[in-house]
Structure 1
Amino acid sequence: MMTRPQRKNNPAALRLRLLDCAATLIVDHGVPALTLENVAREAGVSKGGLLHHYSSKDALIGGLFDMVVEWFGSQVDAAIEPEENRPARFSRAYLQVIANIDMSVPAEKRLAVLILMLSSDPHYCARWNSWVDERLREHHRTDTSPMARTLRLAADGLWLSDLGGGPDSVSSKRGEILQFLQTLDPGPATSTPHADKGGQ
């Protein structure tokens, strides 16, 4: 006697599919396209099924933000060099991840989602700034120099260029920019009591 295979309910997989569909809508059509109805349709579930996992549009957007930041953080962590006293250690990894983003890869389009969210909602800007502040406190011994800040600002500029499809978004040019920035001397990893003596 054959038994019918039972379909297993996988809430985690469904939540991920809902978030991926939400991300795709934002990338392809902009933030205004993110509605519960559109996400449910793209994910192949009812609106009620979506609301079972995310009780409101704000909850869905919050889940999407958390997913993207967690993904970005994991990429940066993987890129951080093992030498704990390497100057600008976190900032180098931050730059490397953003400079190596391939917008043709669906998972990597998540950074476009994040920058769109940050540009449209002060609440998420504040949450992003808190995340960055937390990481900088974690790496305060290596990433407080002006060069470290310059690397992060350059990375943010590349990110913005990607979003607008600017001329520097071409992968070959991005590679040149990354190579140049990584050759710059970031200065000492930690400051000393006389670091600013003489106005230097």
Structure 2
Amino acid sequence: MSKTKKEQIFEAAARTILKEGLSQLTLQHVAEHANMTKAGLLYHFSSKEELIQKMNEHAIVCFRQQLESYQETYKNEKAPYVRAYILATLNDLDMQNTTQLCTSMLATMSFDEALLNPWRDFYAEFKEKAAEEINDPALSQLIRLTCDGIWFSEMFQLEPLNRKDKTLLLHRILHILEEG
């Protein structure tokens, strides 16, 4: 499936951050990485703030789509939403969407903390839905923080786990979910 122009711009912004650093996240640099003019980029996003905001929204929408797909697949299993969260994390790592998710969060943190509000809402939603499925709040937080830890170690390149270790960890968390 071909990517929309906005998705190509999001990927270009992620490449800009990864190759040149957050300080070089300018509309001009993103336009260059997207093989377009700055005017062409401004047609889609009126400012760097809007670009970052839309990158975050896009990352959340993509992750939600994965969650919904897994929830439907595992609707008859124990804790389908929490299971979907774990499996979507694993799938996201397989699809390498982690880069865009991480770079959108990094850009947000460096630009305007208020732009993290959609992520805050997403985590509040996880907490609420997990509480409906799991009677042990500590277990639901263990699951969320394990998934987040995988992403954050990737984001900050703090001894990120290799593919095999990530898979083993997430499968162990699935096993704990089954036991709990």
TM-score (norm 1): 0.72
Asked if 1:158 corresponds to 2:130, the answer is no
Checking the alignment, whether the CA contact within 8 Å between 1:76 and 1:93 is kept in structure 2 is yes
SS class of match (2:39):
helix
- Of residues 102, 105, 121, the one that matches 1:112 is 102
Q: Which residue number in structure 2 is paired with residue 45 of structure 1?
A: 36
Change (3 A) 1:123 1:139: same
Give the Cα separation in 2 of the matches to 1:164 and 1:29: 15
Checking the alignment, whether the CA contact within 8 Å between 2:53 and 2:108 is kept in structure 1 is no
- Of residues 117, 121, 125, the one that matches 1:130 is 121
Structure number with greater Rg is: 1
- List alignment gaps of at least 5 residues for structure 2: none
By percentage of residues, which structure has more helix?
2
Checking the alignment, whether the CA contact within 8 Å between 2:81 and 2:129 is kept in structure 1 is no
Read off the aligned partner of 1:61 and give its amino acid letter.
Answer: I
Give the Cα separation in 2 of the matches to 1:184 and 1:25: 39
- Of residues 153, 174, 177, the one that matches 1:182 is 174
- List alignment gaps of at least 5 residues for structure 1: 1-11, 189-200
Asked if 1:142 corresponds to 2:133, the answer is yes
Q: Which residue number in structure 2 is paired with residue 93 of structure 1?
A: 84
Checking the alignment, whether the CA contact within 8 Å between 1:21 and 1:42 is kept in structure 2 is yes
Checking the alignment, whether the CA contact within 8 Å between 1:31 and 1:117 is kept in structure 2 is yes
List per-residue Cα deviations over 1:60-84 (Å, max 9, x = no partner): 1111111111111112222222127
- Provide the aligned C-alpha RMSD in A: 2.7
**Offset at residue 29 of structure 1 (A):** 3.1
Give the Cα separation in 1 of the matches to 2:153 and 2:13: 23
Aligned residues: 174
- Of residues 79, 82, 89, the one that matches 2:75 is 82
Q: Which residue number in structure 1 is paired with residue 164 of structure 2?
A: 172
Read off the aligned partner of 1:113 and give its amino acid letter.
Answer: T
List per-residue Cα deviations over 1:52-102 (Å, max 9, x = no partner): 221111111111111111111112222222127x23x32232222224443
